[in-house]
Structure 1
Amino acid sequence: MSDEDGMAEVLVAFQCKTCSLIVGDSVNLMHVNEARRTVTLKYAVNIIRSTVAIHAAAGGEDAGNTYHELLCRQCKRILGKWYSATVPAFDAYRMAYTLHADDVTEYAVGANAPEDQWSMEGAVAVDEWKANVLHMRDLSKRLAKVRVAPYHFARVTSAALPGATGPENGPRPDSYQRASRPSKTYSMW
């Protein structure tokens, strides 16, 4: 991303000043008005437009215009205006997102900062969380495969034992013991 002068174009993200939620970027920048301290974007994200239109009274900077307030979706801070009807001098603002510079902060994406000043705490925390979730899923799958062989008790009688004629050839007729069944051994490791 560079222009004809060989200078790199910097992408700027605009964030709510209160909660730091990203609300727009310089890709959608239409114009900047330094006198009014506003930035106008063609598109914005994470913004709620108020349902009540405000018609600006005569005498103010917005005189004759109708606008809706733009609120941060997360913290509801008023960030700017969306003009639905304008006088000719404000036509450039109509149907666009005009953010006030005092209500947003800017962050230059890819800003040159020395590596020793990089903060990776958030990325490290997310990476650890992801590793824990994957580990828990793996353990859950392993546990689903492991089945504890249930104890089935059967009443053993002399008649149930082939060739048994009495207590000397097997257990007493009224005793209980674990039914014989082939057992499978599962290992988690």
Structure 2
Amino acid sequence: MAAREKSLKHRQKVVNTTFESSIDSTAVEEKLFGHAEVDEDGDDGPVVFICGKCKLPVGDSMSWDGSEDGQNQIRLKRVTDNVVVGEDTRLHEASKRSLCLIVDLFCRGCHTVLGMVYTSTPKNLDHKRFAFYFSVADIDSYVLGSASQMLAAEGPKEQPVTLEYRGIVEQQLTEMKMLVMSMAQRLEEIDTGLQDESDVA
């Protein structure tokens, strides 16, 4: 038990200084998947992750692989073509005795660094390879189906075009046509009457 507490304290001290942020990745994970655990019938839909700067989509929750405690990162198994894996490898200290080689992840649209990929790790961190790590500070998210703004319907002109509604409109148009034709015929009769009077005079 004491060893476990010591391990937890050690994990809490480990901070990835590459991605300093005030956003907690565990809060993001709870927001994304906490409702699914509590309420199976929740209204939350899939989440699309987008570049925080230019808003290009970089991945979605269908590829979710978890989050990194205390490092403000989320982990995805797959990403979109808008994510470019860098070529320059650099050293990264995952913990005091764990040096890793990583490459940066860039946004194809604005070239912002969004996260990293572990290319070489010590044996105890092998699980970190084969995943895309995104800094929570550099990405945003959008929950599909969360749109709520609608235009208010105003009067009958905003009614949906149903067969019944279409029939009413066609009937009104026919009545208006008959009225216009009747008025045109009446004007023609008046015009003819006026011409006859002028011929007599």
TM-score, normalised via structure 1 length: 0.53
1:29 corresponds to which residue? 64
- Deviation at residue 7 of structure 1 after TM alignment: 2.6
- Say whether the 8 Å CA contact 1:2–1:8 is kept in structure 2: no
1:56 corresponds to which residue? 92
Which has the larger Rg?
1
Tell me: higher relative CO, structure 1 or 2? Use CA pairs within 8 A at least 6 residues apart: 2
Distance 2:147 2:37 in 1: 16
- After TM superposition, the structure 1 = structure 2 runs for residues 24-103 of structure 1, keeping only pairs within 5 Å, are 24-45=59-80, 46-57=82-93, 63-103=98-138
How many residues end up aligned between the 2 structures? 116
Residue 113 (structure 1) aligned with residue 157 (structure 2): no
Distance 2:145 2:124 in 1: 36
Name the % identity: 22
Higher helix share: 2
Deviations 1:66-100 (A, max 9, x none): 11000001110000001111234533321211000
Structure 1 window deviating more from structure 2 (30-39 vs 83-92): it is 83-92
TM-score, normalised via structure 2 length: 0.50
Q: Tell me the amino acid that sits aligned with residue 72 of structure 1.
A: C
Q: Structure 2, unaligned stretches of length 5 or more? A: 1-35, 153-201
- Say whether the 8 Å CA contact 2:44–2:143 is kept in structure 1: no
Q: Tell me the amino acid that sits aligned with residue 78 of structure 2.
A: Y
RMSD over aligned Cα, in angstroms?
A: 2.9
Distance change >3 Å, CA 83–CA 62, structure 1 → 2: farther
